């Protein structure tokens, strides 16, 4: 489906107050996913800044990043590398542990899935604090590839995630 620029993409992002806890305003992407014209426009706008950029792969951050990575990879003519939580990948993996505000977490990807020097774009749905995206970037670099930048549908500017991803290029479609 071709992207329709007459669609107001922001109208398909539902604000959900007090989720997952009181005081948080959650930005729900599911209405945009459910409407083909909105979803097509989201993919087109996420792809636009990267067209012409030499890329070898998209690294998709589990789980909502997977929803955007497949169509985005097709639009840009590259493959998808799933970056997952521990224990989800069947073959030998490499991992990166990182700190969260409430503990530690880990991301994994298959060992050897990226050729040394590959140019990789990190993709996720929302850029909040940037912790998960930064961990994904470190994992990719530990695997011998180069992070070209990151693409997100939504950026929550007040949480400062963009600064955490410096010096990498960051492109977002909607900012709140």
Active site residue 64: yes
CB 40 within 8 Å of CB 1 = yes
Residue 175 has φ and ψ, to the nearest 5°, of: -120, 135
Burial class (CB in 10 A: 0-12, 13-18, 19+), 176: middle
103, 4 contact by CB (below 8 A): no
Enter the tokens of residue 62. 């589990």
Catalytic residue among 92, 101, 104, 116: 101
Active site annotation includes 157: no
DSSP 46-59: HHGGGTTS--SEEE
Q: Which residues contact 3 (CB under 8 A, 6 or more apart)?
A: 37, 40, 41, 43, 44, 45
Residue of 64, 106, 138, 164 with catalytic role: 64
Task: Cite the active site residues.
Answer: 64, 101
């Amino acid at each position: 489906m071709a992207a329709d620029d007459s669609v107001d993409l922001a109208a398909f992002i539902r604000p959900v107050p007090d989720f997952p806890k009181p005081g948080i305003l959650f930005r729900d992407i599911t209405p945009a996913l459910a409407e083909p014209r909105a979803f097509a426009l989201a993919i087109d706008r996420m792809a636009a800044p990267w067209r012409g950029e030499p890329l070898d792969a998209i690294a998709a951050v589990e789980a909502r990043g997977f929803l955007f990575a497949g169509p985005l990879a097709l639009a840009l003519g590259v493959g998808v590398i799933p970056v997952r939580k521990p224990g989800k990948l069947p073959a030998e993996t490499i991992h990166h542990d990182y700190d969260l505000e409430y503990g530690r977490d880990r991301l994994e990807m298959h060992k050897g899935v990226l050729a040394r020097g590959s140019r990789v774009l990190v993709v996720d749905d929302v850029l909040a604090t940037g912790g998960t995206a930064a961990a994904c970037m470190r994992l990719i670099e530990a695997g011998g590839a180069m992070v070209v930048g990151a693409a997100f549908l939504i950026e929550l500017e007040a949480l400062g995630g963009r600064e955490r991803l410096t010096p990498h290029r960051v492109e977002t479609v909607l900012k709140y």
